[in-house]
Structure formats: structure tokens, C-alpha cells
């Protein structure tokens, strides 16, 4: 396949190309060539200028590729024109991520969410494929063309989307009831958050001895998993592994993150897993923090766990804040070095919460708090957040 990377004129993030290559590898593609182009002006016909489109056509013929992936979203007209001009299949970044999510979804809820996102994406790209099978015309005085193929497809897709949405609402209610039940039992909920491929699933497996799929690729884990983790003195926490963040996530997949966002919004503690071996970890860290603030988690305590220190020759350690509490933990989930420090930090936060326990936070109010968190998520989720989450 060929990869077309369209860069902004003021873009100075060198990871954009590498991230697209990693996405292609996650989908099982082999990148034959990388075609770069500056985004001066978006052309309505081919997205690229006519000269750049001709250059791309030469690369496609020389490499004999069957698929070309654009790093920017394409309109249906642009996608069709490029497919005819390049004489090979053309998709954009949205379709690529949809394909990855479809392959990684394992739970019933995850599959329903991805299917709904795929249907919403497909609804804008319907073409006339069998116009000769359009419904028969009416009788005398009613000889209209009848229901066309496109109208039939749109009606069937809209009907399926409504049915999927009803099922997802029931799943959301079940998740809310489970959180309410855990709150009533006094469970301490901890959520792992962070950029994709930062090592969250590996850390989750080490703590819970679970068998969640973990690999060095983007979106290796899609479905949210929750397990009990025992600390010292028979204390325990409820740990949730969530899907990773990525820049410019398609808006059709926002629905797939609602369950994950609810786990984060209603958590008692967030562990922000950071890939310290990534040369641009600071930028990704800021991206994640911005999203977490916008969805309403700014008041939830957070521990920053700098993962993969073994790849940079680092040593396990901690950094405390001005009050003496552990704020940063330097560890490696792969070698398990420093994970005892992370457990200690979690225990400190749990003890602090129990010491500062007020009657207003009693289990009787847990249901209303959980519902308020979900309502905040629904009411404050704006298109601005779709650029990063």
C-alpha cells in the first residue's frame, strides 16, 4: 500500500508520519512508499493539486500498490475521484482507524459501537450500484421513480443505527449500575489513562494477572476491562484498563469511547501512563491532559507513571509533591521494576481518601454522583474534543 502524508504548513511534529505508519502496520498493511505533501490549499476534486496527484499516480504505478491511505479526511467525491484517477482503492485515516477498531473489538458492546461508527461513516459514501433494481413505479397518476437504491440504503442504515443506539443505551445503564454497586461496597476505583501504546495493558496484566491482549502497536486494546487488585493488609482496589488516546480521532468513533470516558470521570484515582522512551512524550502528555480536563476529571487525583524506563536506562524512583505525597513514579511494566512504588503511591491516595471521608460522600449518594458524572460527560462533550479523543 501507499501512504500519503499531508502536513500542515506550520506543523513541526515529526511523529505524524510515524504514527500513520504505525496505524497502517496495526491494520496489517505493508507500506510500499510514503508520499509527502504540504497542505497549502485543499482542492475540491482530488484534495491534492493536479500536479501532486499526477506525481502520486506515478508512484502508484511504479510500486503496483492496491491501496492508498491519506492521512487527512477525504470527502466522498474526493475519494471517488482519486480511486478512478489512481486506479486503486483509496481510503482516508478515518476508514483506517475504523478498520483497526473492527478487528480489535472483542466484547458485545465494543462490536456494537464500532458497527454504529462504521454505518455512520458509510452513510455518506453510498453509491448507485444497482439502479436497475429500483422499486417499481406506482399506478396511474402515481408513476414516480419509486424508492431508489440510495434511499433504500439510507433508510436501512438509519434503522440499524437506531437499533444499535437503543442497545448501547442499555449497556450504558448496566455500566452505571455496576459502578453504583462498587461504590456501595466502598470500592476504590482506579483508571489507567494515557496515549495509545504507552503500556497500559501490560501494566494492567502485571497488577491483575489477567490475560488482556498487549502488544507494541496502536490500539492493541479496545475494550474496557475491570479487575480487582489486592494491596497490603487485605485492602483492594478496582482497576480499569481503558482504550488509549490518539490525536485527531474521527468523530464517528466518539461513541466508542463513552464507556471509557465514564470510567475515567467516575474514578477515584487516575494513573496517567506515559511512554518515557518516546522522544515526544511531553506533547502527547499535554494532549491527554487537555482532554481529561475538558471531560471533567480535573478534580480527580492523578499519579503520573513514567513507563518503559528500561528502554532509556533509567532507574526506578518517585517524585513527591510539596505535601510529601508521591506524584510521579518511574517504573517499567515490562521488567516490573518500580511497580512496588506505584502500589505504594496508590495505597497513599487510598488512605488519604479514607481519612478525608465526609458524610456527604456516603454510599447513599454514590448513585447521584455517578449519574452526575455521566451527565457532565454528555452535556459537555463538544466537537472541540474530537480533535484529540
List Cβ neighbours of 278 (8 Å cut-off, separation of 6 or more). 198, 284
pLDDT at 367 over 70: no
Q: What gap in Å lies between CA 61 and CA 57, rounded to an integer?
A: 6
List Cβ neighbours of 157 (8 Å cut-off, separation of 6 or more). 119, 122, 123
Question: How far, CA to CA in Å, does 182 sit from each of 175, 223, 226, 266, 374?
Answer: 11, 20, 11, 11, 16
Q: At what angle do helices 50-63 and 76-86 cross, to 10 degrees?
A: 50
pLDDT digits (tens, 9 = 90+) for 65-78: 889 999 888 888 99
Q: What gap in Å lies between CA 55 and CA 38, rounded to an integer?
A: 14
Nearest to 74 by CA among 91, 49, 55: 91
63: helix, coil or strand? helix
Beta strands in the chain (DSSP E): 2-7, 33-38, 67-70, 89-92, 189-194, 225-230, 236-241, 269-275, 302-307, 317-320, 326-330
pLDDT digits (tens, 9 = 90+) for 53-109: 899 999 888 888 889 999 888 888 999 999 999 999 999 888 888 888 888 777 787
pLDDT band at 133 (very low <50, low <70, confident <90, very high): very low
pLDDT digits (tens, 9 = 90+) for 239-252: 988 777 777 666 55
pTM of structure: 0.74
List Cβ neighbours of 332 (8 Å cut-off, separation of 6 or more). 307, 308, 309, 310, 316, 338
pLDDT of res. 258: 62
Phi, psi of 262 (to 5 degrees): -65, -40
pLDDT of res. 358: 44
Helix, strand and coil content of the chain, in percent to the nearest 5, comes to 50, 15, 35
pLDDT at 161 over 60: yes
pLDDT of res. 108: 82
pLDDT at 293 over 60: yes
What value does the mean pLDDT take over residues 271-278? 93
Grid cell 465514564 in the structure block, residue: 262
DSSP state at residue 273: E
Question: Which of 223-237, 261-275, 313-327 has the least mean pLDDT?
Answer: 223-237
pLDDT at 349 over 80: yes
pLDDT digits (tens, 9 = 90+) for 198-211: 888 889 889 988 77
pLDDT at 310 over 80: yes
Top-confidence residue, 285 or 183: 285
What value does the mean pLDDT take over residues 236-265? 72
pLDDT of res. 295: 73
DSSP state at residue 58: H
DSSP state at residue 78: H
Q: What gap in Å lies between CA 352 and CA 149, rounded to an integer?
A: 62
pLDDT at 131 over 50: no
Question: Which of 239-243, 322-326, 355-359, 365-369 has the least mean pLDDT?
Answer: 365-369
pLDDT at 130 over 50: no
Beta strands in 172-322 (DSSP E): 189-194, 225-230, 236-241, 269-275, 302-307, 317-320
pLDDT digits (tens, 9 = 90+) for 13-50: 554 788 888 888 888 888 888 888 887 778 888 898 88
CA 218 to chain centre: 10
328: helix, coil or strand? strand
CA 23 to chain centre: 12
Amino acid at each position: 500500500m501507499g501512504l500519503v502524508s499531508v502536513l500542515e504548513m506550520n506543523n513541526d511534529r515529526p511523529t505524524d508520519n510515524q504514527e500513520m505508519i504505525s496505524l497502517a502496520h496495526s491494520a496489517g498493511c505493508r507500506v510500499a512508499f510514503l508520499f509527502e505533501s504540504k497542505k497549502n490549499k485543499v482542492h475540491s476534486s482530488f484534495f491534492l493539486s493536479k500536479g501532486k496527484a499526477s506525481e502520486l499516480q506515478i508512484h502508484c504505478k511504479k510500486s503496483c500498490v492496491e491501496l492508498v491511505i491519506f492521512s487527512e479526511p477525504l470527502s466522498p467525491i474526493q475519494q471517488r475521484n482519486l480511486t478512478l484517477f489512481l486506479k486503486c482503492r483509496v481510503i482516508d485515516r478515518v476508514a483506517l482507524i475504523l478498520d483497526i477498531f473492527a478487528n480489535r473489538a472483542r466484547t458485545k458492546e465494543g462490536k456494537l459501537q464500532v458497527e454504529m461508527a462504521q454505518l455512520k461513516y458509510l452513510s455518506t459514501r453510498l453509491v448507485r450500484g444497482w439502479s436497475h433494481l429500483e422499486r417499481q413505479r406506482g399506478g396511474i397518476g402515481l408513476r414516480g421513480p419509486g424508492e431508489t437504491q440510495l434511499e433504500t440504503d439510507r433508510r436501512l442504515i438509519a434503522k440499524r443505527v437506531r437499533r444499535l443506539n437503543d442497545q448501547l443505551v442499555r449497556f450504558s445503564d448496566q455500566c452505571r449500575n455496576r459502578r453504583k454497586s462498587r461504590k456501595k461496597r466502598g470500592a476504590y476505583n482506579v483508571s489507567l489513562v494515557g496515549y495509545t501504546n504507552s503500556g497500559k495493558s501490560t501494566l494492567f496484566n502485571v497488577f491483575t494477572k489477567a490475560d488482556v491482549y498487549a502488544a507494541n502497536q496502536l490500539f492493541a486494546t479496545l475494550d474496557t476491562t475491570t479487575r480487582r487488585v489486592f494491596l497490603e493488609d487485605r485492602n483492594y482496589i478496582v482497576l480499569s484498563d481503558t482504550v488509549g488516546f490518539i490525536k485527531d480521532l474521527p468523530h464517528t468513533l466518539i461513541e466508542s469511547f463513552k464507556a471509557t470516558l465514564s470510567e475515567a470521570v467516575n474514578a477515584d484515582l487516575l494513573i496517567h501512563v506515559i511512554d518515557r522512551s518516546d522522544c515526544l512524550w511531553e506533547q502527547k502528555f499535554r494532549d491527554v491532559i487537555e482532554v481529561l480536563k475538558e471531560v471533567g476529571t480535573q478534580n480527580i487525583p492523578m499519579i503520573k507513571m513514567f513507563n518503559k524506563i528500561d528502554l532509556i536506562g533509567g532507574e526506578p524512583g518517585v517524585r513527591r509533591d510539596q505535601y510529601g505525597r508521591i506524584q510521579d513514579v518511574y517504573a517499567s511494566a515490562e521488567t516490573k521494576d518500580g511497580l512496588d512504588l506505584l502500589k505504594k503511591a496508590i495505597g497513599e491516595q487510598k488512605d488519604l481518601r479514607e481519612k478525608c471521608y465526609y458524610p456527604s460522600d456516603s454510599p447513599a449518594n454514590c448513585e447521584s454522583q455517578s449519574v452526575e458524572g455521566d451527565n457532565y460527560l454528555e452535556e459537555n462533550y463538544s466537537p472541540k474534543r474530537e480533535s484529540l479523543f
